[in-house]
Amino acid sequence: MEQPKRVLPQQIRRQLGSVLCAWGMSDAHADTTAEMMLETDLRGVDSHGISMLPTYDREFRGGRLNMRPVFKTVREGPAMALIDADASLGHPVSVHAMNLAVDKCRDTGVAVVSVFNSHHFGAAGCYSRIAADRGVIGMVTASTRGVTLVPTFAAEPVMGTNPLAFAAPARRNSPFELDMATTTVAAGKVKVYKLNHRPLPPGWVVDGSGQPVTDAEEAFRHVFERPEGGITPLGGARAVGGHKGYGLAVMVHILGGALSGASFSPIRNRTQEPSDPHNIGHFFMAIDPRAFRPEGEFEDDLDQVIDVLHNAKPADPAQPVLVAGDPEMATRKERLQQGVPIPDDLMEQLRAVAKSAGVPFVLAP
């Protein structure tokens, strides 16, 4: 199989920024969005970075994205805030909300900022990392627009992939960074396999009878087009813990959606027009370790935890034991040097987006 073309990070950022500005986004918001989307690709989360641009293009042209939003603080207290994102793309408001939560937790120990009336925000882990880089613990959840998760004992999808991210700062080691869907796999990963014409591992997607689907084209239809079948909860079948992933998905929606007043997609699909904004919700929590312990003690303890995990005897000597965040940081280092792989099918879609926006296409000769 031919390997995807590699594109340098600066080219990706330039392409993203030019398209977003052509759509009417402010320079500041376009720069933030391009930075978050590029960071997502550098980490190897190919389903949530520049591959989302064709989807954003459809949302923009469908009138569901406000490119000149005015964020409104609807409620605020010393340790919380609720923000109306004004039907905008989720990246700028999420950077703002996470930083606000960090600012507040410096005074209160713990702070939560919730967002509603937002849109897709990329990879949740990019925002929890903001907290860790500022020396505090960060946790992020979000509701979703897609309806892709088939609950335990169900034959149809009801929930989304409902992401959960958590980051904590250490002193010597890189931050612990957990970034996960509460489904067995993110819906966008199915799209990535389709773009690369690769069969899916068994257990990711099931049909309306609960049978595994491995053909990428067929799986894509079940996830994005058909009313029956979809993605399994984290763990798969109930016998191997799928009900736990299902429970986590509901928890994520409660924090990311119900708490902020964002929509629940199965209800939204019955009660709103397709042209209405998505009203996705996000949840950002920041915890200052210094509110609980003398400065530096938490980070030192976390270093010891990470060291013990790294030093655990590996089952395969060629594969050392990792902790959450290690694979993403290794991928980031490699892609900063070698570039981000972009499949041919996606390259053509991006070329069409740039042409439609009236900006130069800078990703390929």
**Segment 11-38 mean pLDDT:** 98
Question: CA–CA distance from 338 to each of 5, 9, 42, 332, 335 (Å)?
Answer: 10, 9, 10, 10, 5
Rounded to an integer, what distance in angstroms lies between the CA atom of residue 358 and that of residue 23? 10
How high is the pLDDT of residue 188? 79
Sequence letter at residue 94: S
Q: What is the CATH number of the domain that holds 9?
A: 1.10.1530.10
Q: Is residue 322 part of a domain?
A: no
* CATH at residue 148: 3.30.1370.60
Same domain flag for 135 and 240: yes
Q: What is the pLDDT of residue 13?
A: 98
Domain range enclosing 13: 1-61+339-365
Task: Check residue 146 and give its pLDDT.
Answer: 85
pLDDT tens column, 245-289: 999 999 999 999 999 999 999 998 888 888 888 999 999 999 999
Question: What is the three-class DSSP state of 111?
Answer: strand
Q: Please tell me the predicted confidence (pLDDT) of residue 1.
A: 56
**Same-domain check for residues 177 and 286:** yes
Strands (DSSP E) found in 24-152:
72-77, 80-84, 110-118, 137-142
Q: How many domains does the chain have?
A: 3
Q: Quick check: 10 pLDDT over 90?
A: yes
Residues 118 and 10 both lie in one domain: no
The whole-number average pLDDT for the span 182-190 is 87
Asked whether residue 48 is domain-assigned, the answer is yes
Rounded to two decimals, the pTM is 0.93
Residues 351 and 250 in one domain: no
CB 129 within 8 A of CB 167: yes
Res 236 pLDDT > 90: no
- Sorting pLDDT into bands at 50, 70 and 90, what band is 365? low
In a domain, 156, yes or no: yes
Q: What is the pLDDT of residue 187?
A: 82
Report if residue 21 sits inside a domain: yes
pLDDT 10s digits, 102-154: 999 999 999 999 999 999 999 999 999 999 999 999 999 999 988 999 999 88
